[in-house]
């Protein structure tokens, strides 16, 4: 667990799983893979196995020892719903999140159908806990099926990460979505994001009353282009744990 993070939309990270495999074009220049592979073969380093998918049971109870409430991004260096992560291990991650209910957990996946099926199996019609936010990554308009899968699960707080935005998104099915994050790609092979693509996302969120967070323009370094869109920073969060009556909190 990292008690601090450079990710603007969270306070901390928790990685009971590390490593992943590519599933779509949004993964092509994965920052987590690039970071992890630098340390492959370095004895006693947490990433001595590079970006190979690795379960880390010793980390499962870390949030229980963190007494100050935090917003925690789960598996910033992996995908909890990767097909090689067994559901009995996912159960243990959710057991911890349920027990540590003074935190807010943010779980993000590209394996949207597997997450949907798991949430239905674990919670049935009653829905997952309100302090566990569940979201999907969508890089362009060809991956909107992930949003539909998200909508099919009984989840109180659903969110989208439209990052890296590598193409036009089209019409986003925002019904039931409580938060949208958008941003451009960063790193040595970063693909450029067009202004109109991200404006389109923002405008759809504004029209639907969905909180919108613009993370970055991207470039060689994450902060290369700053965070301003049309002259202002968009840093909206869902301030309620319920999506029934969302309240938008904006920091300009």
Show the domains of the chain with their CATH numbers. Answer: 12-249 (3.20.20)
Contacts of 227 (CB under 8 A, 6+ apart): 8, 214, 215, 216, 217, 233, 234
- The CA–CA distances, whole Å, from 152 to 132, 183, 211, 250 equal 16, 25, 21, 28
d(CA 167, CA 249): 28
Confidence band of 220 (pLDDT split at 50, 70, 90) = confident
Buried b (16+ CB within 10 A) or exposed e, 211-250: bbbbbbbbbeebeebebebeeeebbbbbebeebeebeeee
Cβ atoms of 209 and 219 within 8 Å: the answer is: no
What is the arithmetic mean of pLDDT over 22-46?
96
pTM listed for this prediction: 0.92
Higher pLDDT, 53 or 220: 53
What is the arithmetic mean of pLDDT over 17-21?
98
Confidence band of 242 (pLDDT split at 50, 70, 90) = very low
- Predicted pLDDT of residue 221: 83
The predicted-structure confidence for 62-117, as pLDDT tens digits, reads as follows 999 999 999 999 999 999 999 999 999 999 999 999 999 999 999 999 999 999 99
């Amino acid at each position: 667990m990292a008690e601090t993070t450079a990710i603007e939309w969270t306070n901390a990270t928790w990685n009971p799983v590390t490593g992943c495999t590519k599933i779509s074009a949004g993964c092509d220049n994965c920052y987590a893979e690039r970071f992890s592979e630098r340390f492959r073969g370095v004895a006693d380093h947490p990433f001595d196995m590079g970006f190979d998918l690795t379960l880390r049971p010793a980390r499962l109870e870390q949030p229980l020892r963190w007494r100050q409430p935090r917003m925690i991004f789960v598996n910033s260096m992996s995908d909890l719903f990767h097909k090689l992560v067994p559901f009995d291990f996912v159960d243990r991650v959710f057991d911890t999140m349920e027990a540590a209910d003074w935190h807010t957990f943010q779980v993000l996946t590209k394996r949207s159908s597997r997450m949907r099926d798991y949430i239905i199996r674990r919670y049935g019609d009653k829905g997952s806990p309100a302090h566990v936010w569940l979201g999907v990554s969508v890089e362009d308009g060809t991956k909107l099926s992930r949003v539909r899968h998200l909508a099919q699960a009984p989840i109180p707080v659903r969110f989208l990460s439209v990052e890296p935005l590598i193409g036009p998104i089209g019409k986003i099915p925002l019904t039931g979505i409580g938060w949208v994050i958008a941003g451009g790609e960063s790193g040595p092979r970063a693909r450029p994001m067009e202004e109109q693509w991200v404006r389109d996302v923002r405008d759809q969120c504004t029209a639907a009353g969905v909180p919108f967070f613009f993370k970055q323009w991207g470039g060689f370094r994450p902060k290369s282009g700053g965070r301003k869109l049309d002259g202002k920073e968009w840093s909206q969060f869902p301030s309620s744990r319920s999506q029934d009556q969302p309240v938008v909190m904006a920091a300009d």
